[in-house]
Amino acid sequence: MKAWLTRLPDPVPDTLRTPEEIARFELSRSLPDTPVSLSVNPDLGDSFRWIKMSTGFSLSGGSAGILYGAYRLILTFLSGDDVPDAYESVPRYSLRMINCWDNPDGSVERGYSGRSLFFRNGKLSYDPARLRELARLMASVGLNVVCINNVNVHFPAQLLLEDDLPDLSRLADLFRPFGIRLMVSVDYSQPMRHGIPTADPLDPRVSSWWTETVSKVYQAVPDLAGFLVKADSEGRPGPFTYGRNHAEGANMLADALRPHGGVLVWRCFVYNCRQDWRDTKTDRPKAAWEHYAYLDGQFSENVILQIKHGPFDFQVREPLSPLLLGMPHTKLALELQLAQEYTGHQIDLYTMMPMWQEIFDELPEENIMAMAAVSNWGDDAFLTGHPLAAANFFGYGLLSWDPHTDPRRSASLWSRLTYPSFSAAQQKQLVSCLLSSRRIYEKYTAPLGIGWMITPHDHYGPNPSGYEYDLWGTYHKADRNAVGIDRTASGTGYILQYPEDLQRKYENPDTCPDLYLLFYHRLPYSFVMKDGRTLIQRIYDDHFEGEEEARAMADVLRSLPFPEEDRTVILSRLERQLYNAREWRDIINTFFHRLSGVPDARGRTIYD
């Protein structure tokens, strides 16, 4: 399994049973000439510190922190960075989670890296050595929870809480030595599989079924992190069926988990997915706020609301979800997506650290208490399909430890660990490609925050009107004069969900940052941007530039001395990316040219 630990000399033996034992093993193998004395202090939790001694280092940390410290020391050494004489680190968030959308049949929803690492033929079925490598990768960047199954709980995933509990227990044993706890996505209607005629959270038969079931689950997996639930969303069952709100729905499950120390992670991805495109009153980005904000303060202490970073669904460019700013009395987790669902399917290079930096520019770090990200893994030889997509997994680990991790530092560290043979200049070139890749992809795809001009269902490649008359609430309503949805106070009112400073930032099209312009405003093609260009010319320019920059980036990447097996995969994906970039450029430009009738001011080819 590739990624960034290729240089660790030996696999972690399955005989090691604690983070401390693994820390000792890893240090002895990776830094054989540097003695490191370890001391575990449970009070330190996930944090650690080290001090340089006359010979070697003294490392102390909590029961898991000791392992994070060991990996940090090793990675610092391997990266060639200076190793500080004294260093202390405390993770900003206590839950640093990965959500796998893996199905029991071995498929992975929105997976672009092969089949599931966890499931096959309806059962937990895996290569233990491979999962230990995965656990090692997670621990090396400080991640501590893995939710192993899809939030869309397809049968027989329900059996993880029933007949398959012994398998779940064995899997937890595998991850535990790395300081990693399991989480399970559960089906809200699961009691109905057992003769209970309802899943109403206020029905005592339902709550007592869950109480008993959770109790059995914790006998098998005493340190289970908890449950993850997608309720009342895209066809999933939930409390709305019974006229209950989501606090009532979540608290019932949370009550069952609380005695065992488990948390209930409740996703806020709830909206009307059967919208009539003729309906201009409903505005999907408003949905999460409408369903949850009024419930602030009503959730039990062990409920965590997990909120996608934007109000839509992982588009290349979305503003921050207002819900992340609107629930001061509720525990929140930020949800990111490493799987490149809308962002190139791990064919197109798309490194996410710059996007995450933008999120935390507006999101006060104390608003949330946990991080979650949808995995980009699979049984692919490179773990993440595109070898360079592993940088997102790596970067996410660092981000969830410290949300203000510098993107450049994160990319650079990954690059030096993964391709140690590169010269400093080559490292710089690779890092530059990684850090510019998101903006390049953004330029050649849907313009200026408008989103959704992607092939429906599949979500790769352009289809400018593919979602325009569909049921998903994702419309741009481009016509011969104008494009976009007015989400200001005089439009759908979405912007009113924000604090006043953000309203002011975005409400006026003359001062709204360009890249969010068509998310918030409906504007004529003749609208004059801050730099004097018209909106339509800006759209053309971005698309020509995006495609050119993709080609330039490909030239740089082709020149780098990747190991042969990486190189083969990278080059073939670059070819596909360039084809995709050209399709996007020409189709989006033609689409807007057909509507607007405005020629490119610079006379470049726009096809009829």
**Distances from the Cα of 273 to the Cα of 147, 232, 341, 550, angstroms:** 25, 10, 18, 34
Tokens of 116: 């599931």
CB 453 within 8 A of CB 371: no
Considering beta carbons, is residue 230 or 585 the nearer one to its own copies?
A: 585
- Closer by beta carbon to its own copies, 379 or else 586: 586
Contact 473, 282 (CB under 8 A): yes
| One character per residue 436-465, x = contact with its own copies (rule: CB under 8 A) | --------------------------xxxx
Measured from the CB atom, is 386 or 476 closer to its own copies?
A: 476
CB of 530 to its own copies, least distance (A): 27
Q: Does 575 bind its own copies (CB under 8 A)?
A: no
- Should residue 329 be labelled a site residue for its own copies when binding is judged by CB under 8 A? no
Does position 274 bind its own copies by CB under 8 A?
Answer: no
Residue type, 344: G
106 binds its own copies (CB under 8 A): no
- Site residues for its own copies, 155-214, by CB under 8 A, read none
- Can you tell me the distance from the alpha carbon of 334 to that of 377, in angstroms, rounded to the nearest whole number? 20
Residue 350 zone, left/alpha/beta (φ > 0; ψ -120 to 50; rest) = beta
- Among 9, 204, 235, 278, interactor with its own copies by CB under 8 A: 278
- Please, which residue, 13 or 597, has the CB nearer to its own copies? 597
- Positions marked catalytic: 234, 313, 341
CB of 250 closer than 8 Å to CB of 299: yes
Q: Which of 43, 82, 500, 608 binds its own copies (CB under 8 A)?
A: 608
- Asked if 281 interacts with its own copies (CB under 8 A), we say no
For the chain, give me the number of helices (H) and strands (E)?
15, 16
587 binds its own copies, rule: CB under 8 A: yes
User: Which listed residue (478, 536, 553, 581) binds its own copies by CB under 8 A?
Assistant: 478
Residue 398 or 454 with smaller CB distance to its own copies? 454
Residue 136 found at the interface with its own copies (CB under 8 A): no
Residue 490 lies near its own copies (rule: CB under 8 A): no
Q: Is 469 in the site for its own copies (CB under 8 A)?
A: yes
Judged by CB under 8 A, the chain residues 385 through 414 that form the site for its own copies are none
Find the shortest distance in angstroms from Cβ 386 to its own copies. 25
Determine the size of the site formed for its own copies (CB under 8 A).
25
The most distant pair of C-alpha atoms in the chain lies apart, rounded to whole Å, by: 74
Binding status of residue 590 toward its own copies by CB under 8 A: yes
Short-list 277, 276, 283, CA closest to 488: 283
Nearest-approach distance from CB 278 to its own copies, in angstroms: 5
* Cβ-based nearer residue to its own copies, 72 or 476: 476
Q: Does 152 bind its own copies (CB under 8 A)?
A: no
Q: What are phi and psi of 565, to 5 degrees?
A: -70, -35
Structure tokens at 219: 């006998």
The secondary structure element, H or E, covering residue 518 is: helix 517-520
282 binds its own copies (CB under 8 A): no
Q: How many residues are present in the chain? A: 608
Distance, CA of 505 to chain centre:
26
Nearer to its own copies, 471 or 489 (CB): 471
- Please state, as a whole number, how many other Cβ atoms lie within 10 Å of the Cβ of residue 48: 30
Residues sharing a CB contact under 8 Å with residue 160, sequence separation 6 or more, in sequence order: 124, 148, 149, 167, 168, 184
Smallest distance from its own copies to CB 608, Å: 6
Among the candidate windows 31-39, 110-118, 148-156, 276-284, which touches its own copies by CB under 8 A? 276-284
Options 216, 428, 477, 604; binder of its own copies; rule CB under 8 A: 477
Using the 8-state DSSP alphabet, how is residue 240 labeled? G
Q: Given candidates 17, 194, 274, 594, which one binds its own copies under the rule CB under 8 A?
A: 594
Buried b (16+ CB within 10 A) or exposed e, 309-342: bbbbbbbbbbbbbbbbbbbeebbbbbbbbbbbbb
Residue 546 burial (C-beta neighbours within 10 Å; 0-12, 13-18, 19+): buried
CA 235 – CA 16 distance, rounded (Å): 43
142 binds its own copies (CB under 8 A): no
Candidates 479, 555, 565, 575; binder of its own copies (CB under 8 A) is 479
Options 39, 272, 280, 526; binder of its own copies; rule CB under 8 A: 280
Torsion, Cα 320 322 325 327, to 10 degrees, reads -140
Cβ proximity to its own copies, 157 vs 478, nearer residue: 478
C-alpha 213/C-alpha 255 separation (Å) is 12
Residues that bind its own copies (CB under 8 A): 277-278, 280, 462-466, 469, 477-481, 583, 586-587, 590, 593-597, 607-608
